[in-house]
Amino acid sequence: LKRLSWLKASSIHPASHPPLPSTTSAMKTLVQEETIKVPKGIKITIKSKIVEVTGKHGSLKRDFKHLPIELYLANSGHEVRAKMYFAKSKQLSMLRSVCSHINNLFDGVQKKFEYKMRLVYAHFPINATITNGGKTVEIRNFLGEKRVRTINMLEGVKVEKSTGTKDEIIITGTDIDCTSRSAALIRQSCLVKDKDIRKFLDGVYVSSHGTLED
pLDDT tens-digit series, residues 171-210: 999 999 999 999 999 999 999 999 999 999 999 999 999 9
What distance in Å separates the CA atoms of residue 103 and residue 101, rounded to the nearest whole number? 5
Contacts of 48-55 with CB under 8 Å at 24 or more apart are: 51/80, 51/102, 51/105, 53/102, 53/105, 53/106, 53/108, 53/109, 54/109, 55/106, 55/108, 55/109, 55/110
Mean of pLDDT over the chain: 89
pLDDT digits (tens, 9 = 90+) for 90-134: 989 999 999 999 999 999 999 999 999 999 999 999 999 999 999
